[in-house]
């Protein structure tokens, strides 16, 4: 049996037969929604098709229509405690704050817990320590003395980067 790979197609030859395996990329719609949901609880800038701009904290997304909810939003000096924005009127969504530096925090954690015990999982925006403790921009999940040490490193790192 021989194998040949071209782009996203793997062709297998076995005896007198040729088999092709087409490798499909991950569901692009799912990937898009994962990226968008990564902006939840972050400060975003929304450009509307009428050129109006809203800046606020993204609190909710309706995935079928991309309708959004912003909290503590501002547009041209007007303040909105909550504003619901129709997805069809949105031209652009951008992150309005600096993203949390997971790799920098992972580097700090690696100094204490050895690099092989610290794993950055970019897609989920988390760091796992000893496969038991989860660290995200919001804080540390886990209990016990190791969790307390991780929390101290997290607090120190966050204070330094703010």
Q: Which CATH number, 2.30.110.10, 3.30.70.100, 2.30.30.100, 2.60.40.1220, labels domain 38-95?
A: 2.30.30.100
Residue with structure tokens 């504003």? 83
Alpha-carbon distance of 119 to 7, in angstroms, equals 30
Mean pLDDT in the chain?
A: 84
* 102-161 is a CATH 3.30.310.60 domain: yes
Q: Where in the chain is the domain with CATH 2.30.30.100?
A: 38-95
pLDDT at 7 over 80: no
Q: CA of 90: how far to CAs of 49, 67, 81, 106, 131, in Å?
A: 6, 9, 19, 35, 40
Residue with structure tokens 């950055």? 120
Q: CA of 8: how far to CAs of 4, 31, 111, in Å?
A: 11, 18, 40
Q: Where in the chain is the domain with CATH 3.30.310.60?
A: 102-161
Q: Using an 8 Å Cβ cutoff, are 48 and 89 in contact? A: yes
pLDDT in the model for residue 23: 55
pLDDT in the model for residue 1: 44
pLDDT in the model for residue 3: 42
Give the orientation angle of helix 102-113 with respect to helix 145-161, to 10 degrees: 140
Dihedral sign (CA 100, 132, 35, 87): negative
* Mean pLDDT, rounded, for 9-35: 62
């Amino acid at each position: 049996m021989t194998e040949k790979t071209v782009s996203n197609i793997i062709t297998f030859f076995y005896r007198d037969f040729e088999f092709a395996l087409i490798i499909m990329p991950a569901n692009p719609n799912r990937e898009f929604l994962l990226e968008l949901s990564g902006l939840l609880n972050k400060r975003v800038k929304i450009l509307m098709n009428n050129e109006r701009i809203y800046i606020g904290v993204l609190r909710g997304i309706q995935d079928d229509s991309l309708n959004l909810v912003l909290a503590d939003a501002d547009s041209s000096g007007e303040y909105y405690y909550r504003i619901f924005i129709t997805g069809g009127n949105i031209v652009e969504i951008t992150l309005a704050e600096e993203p949390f530096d997971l790799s920098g925090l992972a580097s700090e954690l690696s100094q204490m817990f050895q690099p092989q015990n610290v794993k950055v999982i970019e897609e989920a925006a988390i760091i796992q320590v000893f496969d038991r403790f989860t660290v995200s921009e919001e804080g540390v999940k886990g209990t016990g003395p190791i969790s307390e040490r991780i929390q101290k490193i997290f607090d120190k790192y966050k204070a330094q980067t703010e």
